[in-house]
Structure 1
Amino acid sequence: MSNSFEELAEQAQATFWGYVGFELEQLSEASATISLQLQPHHLNLLGIVHGGVFMTMLDNAMGLVIMHDPTLRAVTATMNTYFLTNISKGTIYCKAELLHRTKRTITMTASIYDDSNERLAYASGSYRLLT
């Protein structure tokens, strides 16, 4: 897998990422930002974004930072998610940042924001490096 911005964005479209509708906005060794234009299928029966969409977005953004380094392969070991408020339309953005790295794990944080920069959810995640 390549680590260039354009190639990662293109490769992701054929995966679950593309099915959900995420777009890659920014990527570096220490952070990533992705976006999602909300559609009716992202909502639950209450008419707000389904929590699974938030969790998927948080996990994908954090994972992208790790994938930026083509020598690393990792899987999610744990993820703690906090839902702060809801939304039903517009575009949401998720920014992930590298927090800590050891020989075996990487710890990340991520937050989801709306167009007015209100934080909707945040998470921390631990990723186990594969050998």
Structure 2
Amino acid sequence: MKESGNDRSEDGRSALEAMESAAKQTFWGYLGCELVSADPGRAAISLRLRPEHLNMAGIVHGGVLASLLDNAMGLVAILACPEERTVTTGLNVHYLQSSSEGVLTCEAELIHRSRRTLTLEGRIADNNGELLVWGSGTFRRVT
């Protein structure tokens, strides 16, 4: 896990490391996601592209990009509601450019919160900082 530039308590760092360790046993780990940073209301994750992430045209599969976006926004939702379960209820993905190699970075941010719903936005960029995907998602608190 890489850390953000902000000071973080030892307890907070340990909790994030435990969360990332547990996530490696899930689809997060199967996909190859890595935590880059996490702060209240925002997070960044990365994915080193592998051949199995590509489609038959030799570019990253749209489903991989959507999953990366959903994982990053889902992490922000989990951190915003640590004592509750949250689920994705809507995901809008706008594919802007393609990529076929390197490391992708997805940054997600909480932009609105109501009593039961969280609204987030996310961006995926390639090694050169080129914007590949922009998306938004809604997450529902299911206590």
What TM-score comes out, normalization by structure 1 length? Answer: 0.95
Q: What residue is the counterpart of 1:127 in the other structure?
A: 139
Q: Residues 43-66 of structure 1: CA distance to partner in whole angstroms, max 9, x if unpaired?
A: 000000000000000000000011
> 1-side partners of 2:140 and 2:82: how far apart?
15
TM-score, length of structure 2 as denominator length: 0.88
Q: 2:103 aligns with which of 77, 91, 95?
A: 91
Instruction: Output the amino acid matched with 2:122.
Output: A
Counterpart residue number, 1:29: 40
C-alpha RMSD of matched pairs (Å): 1.3
Provide the rounded CA distance (Å) in 2 between the counterparts of 1:105 and 1:70. Answer: 14
Whether 1:71 aligns to 2:77 is no
CA contact (8 A) 1:85 1:121 kept: yes
Percentage of pairs with the same residue: 46
- Which runs of no fewer than 5 residues in structure 2 stay unpaired? 1-11
The structural deviation recorded for 1:8 is 1.1
Show the counterpart of 2:116. 104
Query: Which 4+ runs in 1 deviate beyond 6 A?
Result: none
Q: Does 1:55 align with 2:50?
A: no
* AA matched with 1:110: G
Gap regions ≥5 residues in structure 1: none
Describe the SS at the equivalent of 1:17.
helix
Q: How many residues align?
A: 130
Amino acid at match of 2:47: L
